[in-house]
C-alpha cells in the first residue's frame, strides 16, 4: 500500500471560487440536489456540480501512468468503481488497446450519457455490493467516489474492492492537510460524507484491510 499522487495536476487545473459557492444561495439545497447524481450534478449549474461534464481527454495522462505503473497489457480486465460517464475507462482502452473495461456507478443519468465507445461496458450499481466474482480484475480504480459513502459503507466498499481485485488497486479521496484546506473542502464539496487527513485515511484503509495504492485531492 503506497501513496501515489496522480490527480492533483488535473484537480488544480480547474479554478474554484470557494466563497462564491457558499454565498450563491442555499448550499444545503445545492448538496441535496447534487446527491441525486442526476442531470443537475453532471450537466446543471456550477452550484450543484460540474456544470457540464464532457470528455476533453484530461484523463488520458492518468490512464497512461496507471498502465505504465501496473504493467497493464492486452487482455487484462479493469474495473472503475464510480465510473461516471466512462471517460477514464475509454482512455484506458486507448492507453492499452486490447484491455477489457467495466464500470459501475449509482447514476443512471451518467450511464445514459456515457462515452459511446464504452457505454455497453458500464452498469448501474453500488460500491458496497460489487456484482463481480472474487479476484476478477487485474486493476480496480475508484477516483473521487468512495468519500461519498458514510463510514460504515466506506469500510464495506473498500473490502469489496479488495475482494474483486487482484494485486493492483488504486483509489483517490478528498483530503486536507491544514485548516485552510479543510475550510475550502467544506465550502466546495457537495456530496462528501467522509473526509479526513491523509493519516486518518491511511488508518481507515488499514482497518478495512485495503492493500492497494491511493492518492488524495487537496483544495488549496
Task: Give tens-digit pLDDT for 27-68.
Answer: 999 999 999 999 999 999 999 999 999 999 999 999 999 999
Q: Is residue 2 part of a domain?
A: no
For 186, residues 6+ apart whose C-beta sits below 8 A from its C-beta are: none
For residue 105, the enclosing domain spans 8-218
Q: How large is the average pLDDT for residues 70-92?
A: 98
Q: Is residue 59 part of a domain?
A: yes
Bridge partners (DSSP) listed for residue 123: 104
- Alpha-carbon distances of 43 from 53, 80, 156, 194, rounded to whole Å: 6, 21, 30, 24
Q: Give the number of other Cβ atoms within 10 Å of residue 20's Cβ.
A: 12
For residue range 189-218, what is the model confidence (pLDDT) as tens digits?
Answer: 999 999 999 999 999 999 999 999 999 999
Of 120, 111, 117, nearest in space to 91 by CA:
117
Cell numbers standing for residue 135: 479476484
Q: Rounded mean pLDDT of the chain? A: 96
Q: Is the pLDDT assigned to residue 80 strictly greater than 80?
A: yes
What is the Cα–Cα distance from 37 to 170, expressed in whole angstroms? 23
Cell numbers standing for residue 139: 486493476
Please give the pLDDT value at position 9: 79
As for how many domains the chain has, the answer is 1
Q: Is residue 122 part of a domain?
A: yes
Instruction: Count CA within 13 A, CB hemisphere, residue 214.
Output: 25
Q: Is residue 197 part of a domain?
A: yes
Of 106, 136, 124, 127, nearest in space to 42 by CA:
106
What pTM was computed for the model?
Answer: 0.96
What is the Cα–Cα distance from 160 to 109, expressed in whole angstroms? 24
Q: Is residue 1 part of a domain?
A: no
CATH number at residue 179: 3.40.50.150
For residue range 13-31, what is the model confidence (pLDDT) as tens digits?
Answer: 788 899 888 888 899 999 9
Of 90, 83, 88, 84, nearest in space to 38 by CA:
84
Alpha helices, DSSP H only, in the chain? Answer: 8-12, 18-23, 27-34, 39-43, 60-70, 87-95, 108-112, 151-164, 179-188, 198-208
Would you say the C-alpha torsion 91, 211, 138, 120 has a positive or negative sign? negative
Amino acid at each position: 500500500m503506497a501513496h501515489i499522487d496522480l490527480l492533483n495536476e488535473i484537480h488544480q487545473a480547474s479554478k474554484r471560487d470557494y466563497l462564491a459557492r457558499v454565498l450563491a444561495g442555499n448550499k444545503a439545497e445545492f448538496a441535496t440536489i447534487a446527491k441525486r447524481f442526476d442531470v443537475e450534478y453532471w450537466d446543471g449549474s456550477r452550484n450543484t456540480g460540474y456544470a457540464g461534464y464532457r470528455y476533453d481527454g484530461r484523463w488520458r495522462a492518468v490512464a497512461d501512468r496507471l498502465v505504465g505503473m501496473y504493467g497493464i497489457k492486452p487482455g487484462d480486465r479493469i474495473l472503475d468503481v464510480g465510473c461516471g460517464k466512462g471517460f477514464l475507462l475509454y482512455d484506458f482502452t486507448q492507453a492499452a488497446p486490447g484491455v477489457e473495461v467495466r464500470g459501475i456507478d449509482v447514476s443512471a443519468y451518467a450511464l445514459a450519457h456515457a462515452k459511446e465507445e464504452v457505454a455497453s461496458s458500464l452498469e448501474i450499481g453500488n460500491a458496497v455490493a460489487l456484482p463481480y466474482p472474487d479476484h476478477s480484475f487485474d486493476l480496480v480504480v475508484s477516483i473521487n467516489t468512495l468519500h461519498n459513502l458514510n463510514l460504515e459503507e466506506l469500510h464495506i466498499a473498500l473490502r469489496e474492492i479488495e475482494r474483486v481485485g487482484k494485486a493492483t488497486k488504486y483509489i483517490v479521496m478528498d483530503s486536507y492537510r491544514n485548516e485552510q484546506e479543510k475550510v475550502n473542502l467544506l465550502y466546495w464539496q457537495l456530496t462528501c460524507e467522509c473526509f479526513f487527513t491523509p493519516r486518518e485515511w491511511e488508518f481507515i484503509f488499514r482497518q478495512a484491510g485495503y492493500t492497494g495504492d491511493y492518492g488524495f485531492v487537496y483544495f488549496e
